[in-house]
């Protein structure tokens, strides 16, 4: 049963018999006057809605968000979306030897490896002011930095998504700096590491994150711009580097209407914005295209201008044809 | 001669014989190969362009920006704009007893009166956290706060324009709080006093202000949000008030595309934005309409959506007419 | 039972036993083939949906819009919205001594007080042309003016909302004219009183208002511009005042894309637009914030750019702390 | 000399010896301190700038706008634009037998023919309410209607341009009504005839027209909507037709941002908007393309989204080629 | 029974007993765990949703899209939309003598008549290059050209809609060319005939059309621009005409944001865009207005800026009234 | 003299004595009635305006665009821009041993090296269809591909700019494909090589390029989409690859309003758009920042949203400071 198909891959009509995590649980009342629960159940491969009809008060209490359950049933279609029809359901116990982490997607890199890579990039910095501010802020938020998602949805919305996104961007930056040697890698690495770090204040946690009050009223950009100023003060660092780092954070969304009160005005800030863009888009594209077969179009991806993407059906190597141009 | 007509009121054809301040001086070379100076000359009523033909190297050196001169000539029109044709020109000396302040527009209220009014509003605050942060930041920047303009152009672009704008807004806030009693005046007064205070870092000085490097890269909004955080830390103040004040500064431009990364999300922030708007617009409107006669349209005002405004020609009290509706 | 909790304040799970007004009644057929009614029931505090299952033809006829009913049941949640599950329902009779007015929100000021305040402002006008046109049009539409809502939704959408909105704006104008003495109060008061008066033609009535044919095809702005022209003709009034008043009505939405074919081009028109804005926004903000507790965010308010607002949790007076800045 | 080349067709280097109308005359002062006049001189084919150096006070007085002059000189190029270098200049006298009308472009149809065509269309109307209102308003403004331009620039900006534009649109409407028989020609003809009639109040006259105060503050759309209401009242006409005609005028710019507070909401209003568009665009296109040779691109036409148009170089009939598809 | 009321005209409560075409069939599972089918059933007058409860596996197989059924039941309302409650349902057999074509809307002109009209317009062309390319491409795609719809929704979305739309546009072009003789009818006719011909590749078929892979990735505009280039090559035609025709296709959506990478840059391209617009809009308007009675407003029409249109209630000929203006 | 300072680096007041290429030459007439020439003179470092006063007819003929001259004079400032005051000027002769190529900027890579790199990338392709189409089109346009600029202004607007831009993008693509292994390098390389190749038809030549008629009416995107279709036909290649390559060209501007009628709908198309963006922006940024000193802001760069960029003044390695966080 361990080898059960991921819930995100089940097709209509298939039976289900596996452990799942309750993502959310909402009570309703059916047209016959009896209460029921609408559960969203998930594992690493996706989630599915399920109705628990005629729910008793005990059911309501038991089957709450963040609980793991053992469920059997089959997959139906309701209004064009998959729905799990429950046959049996029970809470998992210690004896089932399952834990929340088994059902939650996380970065394809271990936390220790992520930290090691970032440490290496910080080590490569030659400007001590940028290096010290960056190191100071990583240290201050290290635990959350390594476990938070990069967002609540759209891209890198999984455990450790934030730091994993940073590592991908750093690798990308290193490549680009080889091709465009005018780039100052200290500024660029520093900007990348700090650009979304304010999310550890903006968001509520590493799993099922929502926005905090400070997140809503100030946003992660302003939060981090403030923290850099504070860090510089605490470390007694003066000099243009502080303003430059703050500017890079401030401008990394690229335009006022995307949340950056100043557009990028230094070369590295412009590059940071483009690198962020590339990594986020490739993450979204890969995830959308992984769900379809060659020759098919994906569902519309809202965060990519609501586009639907095509997965080519072209063999990497085509049978040699008679060449005659 | 002290009673000379202001340069902003001179008409084409009128003679000029008065002291003026050189706002800017740029060298050029005429089609005959000889150097000349293009001077912008100003007094409190406006400014005018003048060409100093066949300028000697000494002229170039003497007639530089921020110098006061005594000039005679007459007003011509060139490409639809007034131009001063210079007959005689000399630098003012100590014996002329004129000073830069005589030629620069300033707020209609004395600095001491402005400070007194603001102090009174701070005194009225009941929330000690808001009061202490506000007082701390006024004290920190007091001198610049009282002399800087509110902007480099468009509205309140005169000596003490910044603090004068704040006083008008405070009076307006007091009136509005009477009509809408749900408003929290502590937040509102604090937000008004601090909303543009970052301009003392963003701009270069009280006269002929330009943007500083920090001003360009961070902007007055982020600068002040940081300063509030810093003040709270220095004063060991914790609590929602800090976030609320920061939010008010952050959101006072109203929309992302106008430079506020977050829109107003508390009642007082929305009101601060509207009060700022009203006072800036009335200032621009009054200045534009003061230059025309009843029955005329003003020039287009760029900062008011490039509109041209009409000055009604309607007697406040019309001769009584036979009433018969 | 008179002291029943308002329907807008009931929580999921609470019992209901009270009189309510049927706002709308729509027939449907359930999956078992039997007809049912979807009722929207309201009192002054809000409204709630209810299903009347197995509705007989008599039920359909009885439980129609604008009828008052006595209902018992309890509040459930369906798809995230509250729903009333009906246990018993009957039409109210004369003996219940309830009337439509008991269930409909209205302005916090009595109609007579509203009229008196407006009359006073008209009396203060010194320009007889503006005064006579204004008085003439108030008189013409007096009854509807005093009972119509200011809109069908968003702000002041209650009985007498139109004239109450006008009174608030007049008070605001009076305050502003003290601070900005260049404003001509005759024009401003006249513009305020007439600005939305065309709604008495645009809308169908004082309760459950919809748009009339003329309202849809011409709009309240054009309707009132025409009426001012007509009034001037009937009163044999000539002069710029007529054009100015028409311009104020025409431009009070501020921009072409908001329905004003001309933007404000006189000082008082610009101010009218801003005053209208302030009063509408404060009305919406107060209503949204009244529904939440300190420390909470409101639902998104569509007419305020879909923003969600925060209600501060800051005591007006905080315990005195040791002051030492 | 009557056969002089039109000033709009003169090339750089060509001599000029002809009568021209002074469109505008502005005084300036040259770098040598002497006054000069900048004249815009026109005939039916276009206009050209000319400088009159060392202008005496008498020159200033004589060579004023709307005067006809006899001038000799040649055409130079200054900053990429043609300029007339004046050799001799004198005012035309009665003996020259020239009049303003000789220098001003006008519609290709005589005023009497225009009036006759419009009368015929009014005659064809079957709905007496629409017919009477239309006839009443034509009669009221007949003289101006027949001589005013349709605009101050862009399209039909010549004497009688307004009524000529109406005639073209009526012919177009007649064709379209044959193809789309659901169109009500009474409404359509009425709407066309009245759609821009408000311009006789909005503009100052038939030659060198500028905007009047009423034109600026209300606009021709609101002016005509009011006049229709007034006409209906004067003629004691009631009924939907009045609202429909007003709606057609109101909506004929198509969108709020183009000045129509309501978009077209009846079939004939939508068609009126499209007919207006076609006739205006074809007028602009024909005028722009008439100035270039086949195989060339026109200058950018601001009112056509700043596009430059290509004049094909394709013979209407190509030599027959061997056909073999 | 042949004379059954069209399904698009049935009202709530009316019985249904007729043949209908299954447009789509989707399986679901009811809250009782039993499968059901959601059918969309159509005839020429419209379509309606129906639920087939307790559907057996045989039902699923039988009642598939493109099948014709005989059904009895009655019309209910569910969430504001009509729904057919099925009493009996069976597949039509050969003996019922019904065919798909009976249930699908098609152009009001026979295919042969359409082809004849288009042939006539091609015959009138005088430029042999344009004529040959046009004829070649019609011939290549003739069958699909004559049966495809012009779009999958919005306008002319019926069998032969594409070619019928072309014929209407050609008639319109002929009228316009009489009024604006500067138009080159060869270019205009050629552009009209080819403008949407790429849809025979972009769409999947003449009935229930969807977008093909090539349609999604390239679009009908690029497809046809390519085909014109190919045709010219195949026919060994050189000359500006090829580029001009390609430009007309390329630019016929008018603006980049509407899918035309180049805006119209020749007179005929501008006219093609406007003609396309007129014919599409009149088609949509007529269809929307046909569904309502005089004095009513239509539903909002999404493709017409979401406007609702009014159908005037004005007698074409009003009783003569006493005329006295 | 060969070691003369580049004209783009000369400051006001410096003498000039060097060879320069005439970029353009326009005749004017001075206020004294005498003809003069406005020359734009360039070398690889930039260009400067110069006036040749009292130009004889022979001067006009001699000093034409594309001629090389020997000039002496000095640099003045006129209206804020540098201007060269000419003392002596003569045409260069054969004996001067200068050629146009000496004065025109070109790519930092030799044409042979560019070609070799591109050949290598084509060689690496594994899909023979993509490879053959790409090779065929390179061969067809090889000469122009290797010498044309990438644009007439903004970025890579120098000799061989087009192919140099392609090489930079290919290197970038190779790096990115390592980081994002899901990318199909055949499609990506093919798309990069062909994406702007249509510019060899769109533009007029390798130096001082302007737009051709076909370029204006069709644009380089449609031109190349057609050529790919043609190439596939000539090479008898069928299969999805053709459509995919066409789609990549079609969509590489990213959005309809930027000239791409379809947005990127495959992974490689999205990446092509981002790579194009990065390389163009880095080219513009480097060129703008090369002109200023550390600590300065650049002029506004129109093609980068009119931003002004700051060149940091931060030493790559800062003196070690006492580290103590």
Using the predicted structure, report yes or no on whether residue F152 has a pLDDT greater than 70.
Answer: yes
Contacts of D304 (CB under 8 A, 6+ apart): D281, D284, D285, D288, E270
Mean pLDDT over F1-5 rounds to 56
H helices, E strands: number in chain F: 10, 5
Which residue is it, tokens 């299969």?
A: F239
| All chains having 3 or more CB pairs closer than 8 angstroms to chain A | B, C, E, F
pLDDT band at B33 (very low <50, low <70, confident <90, very high): low
Tens of pLDDT, residue by residue over F77-93, are 776 678 898 999 999 99
Contacts of D249 (CB under 8 A, 6+ apart): D191, D194, D195, D198, D221, D224, D225, D228
Closest CA to D194 of D128, D251, D255, D110: D251
**C-alpha span between A120 and A125 (Å, rounded):** 9
Using the predicted structure, report yes or no on whether residue E265 has a pLDDT greater than 90.
Answer: yes
pLDDT at residue F197, as a whole number? 97
Q: Positive or negative CA dihedral for B139, B140, B145, B146?
A: positive
**C-alpha span between F158 and C120 (Å, rounded):** 75
Q: Is C268 helix (H, G, I), strand (E, B) or coil?
A: helix
Closest CA in chain B for residue D217: B310
Tens of pLDDT, residue by residue over A214-249, are 999 999 999 999 999 999 999 999 999 999 999 999
Contacts of A310 in chain E (CB under 8 A): 213, 216-217
Helices (H), chain F: 57-62, 111-124, 128-147, 161-179, 185-194, 199-202, 213-217, 219-234, 240-251, 267-290
- In SS3 terms, C182-204 reads as CCCHHHHHHHHHHCCCCHHHHEC
Mean pLDDT over D108-113 rounds to 91
pLDDT at residue E202, as a whole number? 95
Check if D226 contacts C (Cβ < 8 Å).
yes
The values of phi and psi at residue E18, to 5°, are: -165, 175
pLDDT at residue C283, as a whole number? 93
pLDDT band at C228 (very low <50, low <70, confident <90, very high): very high
Q: What percent of chain D has pLDDT over 70?
A: 93
Check if A174 contacts F (Cβ < 8 Å).
no
Tens of pLDDT, residue by residue over C70-96, are 999 988 877 667 889 999 999 999 898
ipTM above 0.90, yes or no: no
Contact F30 B31 (CB under 8 A): yes
Nearest-CA distance D266 → chain E (Å):
5
Contact B310 D33 (CB under 8 A): no
Closest CA to A12 of A83, A73, A79: A83
3-state helix, strand, coil in chain B (%, to 5): 45, 20, 35
pLDDT at residue C315, as a whole number? 67
pLDDT at residue D79, as a whole number? 63
Torsion of CA B304, B305, B306, B310, to 10 degrees: -60
Q: Which two tokens stand for residue B126?
A: 């009941």
Using the predicted structure, report yes or no on whether residue E320 has a pLDDT greater than 50.
Answer: no
HSE-up of E160 (CA within 13 Å, CB side)?
17
Tens of pLDDT, residue by residue over C14-58, are 889 999 988 888 887 765 667 889 898 988 888 899 999 888 888
pLDDT at residue C31, as a whole number? 59
Check if A51 contacts F (Cβ < 8 Å).
no
pLDDT band at F249 (very low <50, low <70, confident <90, very high): very high
Mean pLDDT over C119-130 rounds to 96
Nearest-CA distance F76 → chain B (Å):
6
Which residue is it, tokens 């169908």?
A: C204
Using the predicted structure, report yes or no on whether residue C310 has a pLDDT greater than 90.
Answer: yes
Q: What percent of chain A has pLDDT over 70?
A: 93
Tens of pLDDT, residue by residue over D198-220, are 999 999 888 767 899 999 999 99
Contacts of F217 in chain D (CB under 8 A): 310
**C-alpha span between A172 and A190 (Å, rounded):** 14
Q: Is A246 helix (H, G, I), strand (E, B) or coil?
A: helix
Closest CA to D298 of D313, D307, D308, D286: D308
Hey, which of A247-261, C101-115, C207-221, F14-28 has the most confident mean pLDDT? A247-261
Mutate which of A15, A78, A309, A314 to disrupt the E interface (most E C-beta within 10 Å)?
Answer: A78
Tens of pLDDT, residue by residue over B281-293, are 999 999 899 988 9
Mean pLDDT over B33-58 rounds to 86
pLDDT at residue A224, as a whole number? 97
Contacts of A110 (CB under 8 A, 6+ apart): none
Closest CA in chain C for residue A31: C53
Contacts of C286 in chain B (CB under 8 A): 180, 182, 267
Tens of pLDDT, residue by residue over A59-104, are 888 898 888 999 999 888 776 678 899 999 999 998 888 887 788 8
pLDDT band at C153 (very low <50, low <70, confident <90, very high): confident
Please report the residues numbered 97 through 136 in chain C whose beta carbons come closer than 8 angstroms to any beta carbon of chain A: none
Using the predicted structure, report yes or no on whether residue E322 has a pLDDT greater than 60.
Answer: no
A244 vs F135, F312, F320: nearest CB: F312
Q: What percent of chain F has pLDDT over 70?
A: 93
Tens of pLDDT, residue by residue over B134-165, are 999 999 999 999 999 988 777 888 889 999 99
Contact B178 C176 (CB under 8 A): no
pLDDT at residue B80, as a whole number? 62
Nearest-CA distance C76 → chain A (Å):
6
Mean pLDDT over F5-32 rounds to 81
Mean pLDDT over D170-178 rounds to 96
Q: What is the DSSP string of F21-50?
A: EEEEEEEEE-TTS-EEEEEEEEETTEEEEE
pLDDT at residue D2, as a whole number? 44
Contact F29 D78 (CB under 8 A): yes
pLDDT at residue A291, as a whole number? 85
Check if E216 contacts F (Cβ < 8 Å).
yes
The values of phi and psi at residue F14, to 5°, are: -80, 145
Average pLDDT, chain E: 89
Mean pLDDT over A13-32 rounds to 82
Q: Which two tokens stand for residue D315?
A: 């013979």
Tens of pLDDT, residue by residue over A139-189, are 999 999 999 998 877 788 888 999 999 999 999 999 999 999 999 999 999
Q: What is the DSSP string of B62-95?
A: HS-TT-EEEEEEEEEEETTEEEEEEEEEEE--GG
**C-alpha span between F87 and F103 (Å, rounded):** 21
**C-alpha span between D198 and D201 (Å, rounded):** 6
**C-alpha span between C136 and B324 (Å, rounded):** 10
Per DSSP, A7 falls in state G
Closest CA in chain E for residue F226: E226
Q: Which helix (H) or strand (E) holds C81?
A: strand C81-91
Nearest-CA distance F222 → chain E (Å):
7
Mean pLDDT over F38-48 rounds to 86
**C-alpha span between D164 and D110 (Å, rounded):** 9
Mutate which of B32, B73, B77, B84 to disrupt the D interface (most D C-beta within 10 Å)?
Answer: B77
Which residue is it, tokens 């943007």?
A: B211
pLDDT at residue C32, as a whole number? 64
Mean pLDDT over C63-67 rounds to 86
Mean pLDDT over A41-54 rounds to 87
Closest CA to F275 of F205, F177, F141: F177
Using the predicted structure, report yes or no on whether residue A47 has a pLDDT greater than 50.
Answer: yes
Contacts of B31 in chain F (CB under 8 A): 30-31, 51, 53
Using the predicted structure, report yes or no on whether residue F316 has a pLDDT greater than 60.
Answer: no
pLDDT at residue E267, as a whole number? 97
Contacts of A137 (CB under 8 A, 6+ apart): A194, A197, A227, A228, A231
Pair type for strands A35-43 and A81-91: unpaired
Check if E233 contacts C (Cβ < 8 Å).
no
β-partners of residue A30 are none
Tens of pLDDT, residue by residue over F182-210, are 999 999 999 999 999 999 999 988 876 78
pLDDT band at D324 (very low <50, low <70, confident <90, very high): very low
Using the predicted structure, report yes or no on whether residue D318 has a pLDDT greater than 60.
Answer: no
D218 vs C213, C219, C247: nearest CB: C247
Q: Is D249 helix (H, G, I), strand (E, B) or coil?
A: helix
Mean pLDDT over F223-228 rounds to 97
Contacts of D139 (CB under 8 A, 6+ apart): E325
Least confidently predicted of A270-279, C302-311, F16-25: F16-25
Torsion of CA E43, E49, E55, E56, to 10 degrees: 30
Least confidently predicted of A56-65, C8-17, E143-152, E258-267: C8-17
Mean pLDDT over F22-47 rounds to 81
Using the predicted structure, report yes or no on whether residue D107 has a pLDDT greater than 70.
Answer: yes
Torsion of CA D96, D100, D106, D111, to 10 degrees: -100
Residue predicted with more confidence, A130 or B105: A130
pLDDT at residue C2, as a whole number? 44
Using the predicted structure, report yes or no on whether residue D321 has a pLDDT greater than 60.
Answer: no
CB-based burial label for C287 (10 Å; 0-12, 13-18, 19+): middle
Average pLDDT, chain D: 89
Q: What percent of chain F has pLDDT over 90?
A: 59
Closest CA to B122 of B112, B113, B133, B111: B133
| All chains having 3 or more CB pairs closer than 8 angstroms to chain D | B, C, E, F
F264 contacts E263 by C-beta, under 8 angstroms: no
**C-alpha span between C206 and C143 (Å, rounded):** 10
Q: What percent of chain E has pLDDT over 90?
A: 59
Closest CA to F122 of F190, F191, F59, F73: F190
pLDDT at residue F25, as a whole number? 86
Contact F27 D77 (CB under 8 A): yes
β-partners of residue A81 are A78
D226 vs C219, C229, C259: nearest CB: C229
pLDDT band at A275 (very low <50, low <70, confident <90, very high): very high
Using the predicted structure, report yes or no on whether residue A316 has a pLDDT greater than 60.
Answer: no
**C-alpha span between D307 and D301 (Å, rounded):** 6
Q: Which helix (H) or strand (E) holds A273?
A: helix A267-290
Torsion of CA F4, F6, F7, F11, to 10 degrees: -90
Tens of pLDDT, residue by residue over F161-175, are 999 999 999 999 999
**C-alpha span between D72 and D4 (Å, rounded):** 12
Using the predicted structure, report yes or no on whether residue E79 has a pLDDT greater than 90.
Answer: no
Closest CA to F52 of F65, F38, F63, F64: F38
Using the predicted structure, report yes or no on whether residue F99 has a pLDDT greater than 90.
Answer: no
Closest CA to C261 of D253, D247, E309, D270: D253
Contact B312 C182 (CB under 8 A): no
Average pLDDT, chain B: 89
């Amino acid at each position: 049963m361990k080898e059960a198909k991921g819930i995100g891959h089940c097709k209509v009509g298939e039976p289900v018999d596996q452990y799942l995590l309750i993502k959310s649980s909402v009570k309703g009342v059916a047209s016959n006057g009896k209460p029921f629960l609408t559960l969203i159940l998930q594992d690493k491969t996706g989630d599915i809605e399920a109705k628990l009809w005629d729910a008793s008060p005990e059911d309501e209490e038991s089957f709450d968000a963040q609980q793991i359950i053992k469920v059997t049933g089959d997959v139906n279609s309701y209004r064009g979306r998959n729905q799990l029809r429950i046959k049996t359901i029970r809470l998992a116990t210690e004896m089932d030897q399952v834990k929340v982490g088994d059902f939650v997607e996380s970065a394809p890199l271990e936390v220790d490896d992520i930290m090691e890579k970032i440490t290496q990039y910080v080590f490569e910095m030659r400007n001590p002011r940028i290096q010290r501010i960056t190191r100071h802020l990583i240290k201050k938020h290290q635990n959350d930095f390594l476990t938070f998602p990069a967002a609540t949805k759209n891209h890198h919305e999984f455990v450790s998504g934030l730091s994993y996104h940073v590592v991908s961007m750093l690798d990308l930056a290193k490549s680009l700096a080889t091709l465009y040697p005018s780039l100052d890698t200290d500024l660029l690495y520093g900007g990348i590491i700090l650009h979304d770090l304010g999310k550890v204040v903006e968001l509520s946690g590493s799993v099922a994150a929502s926005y905090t009050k400070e997140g809503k009223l100030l946003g992660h950009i302003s939060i981090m711009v403030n923290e850099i100023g504070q860090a510089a003060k605490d470390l007694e660092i003066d000099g243009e580097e502080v303003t430059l780092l703050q500017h890079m954070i401030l401008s990394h969304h690229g335009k006022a209407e995307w949340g950056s009160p100043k557009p990028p005005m230094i070369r590295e800030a412009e590059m940071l914005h483009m690198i962020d863009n590339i990594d986020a888009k490739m993450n979204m594209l890969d995830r959308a295209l992984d769900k379809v077969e060659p020759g098919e179009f994906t569902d519309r991806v809202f965060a990519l201008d609501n586009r639907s993407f095509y997965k080519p059906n072209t063999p990497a190597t085509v049978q040699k044809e008679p060449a005659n141009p």
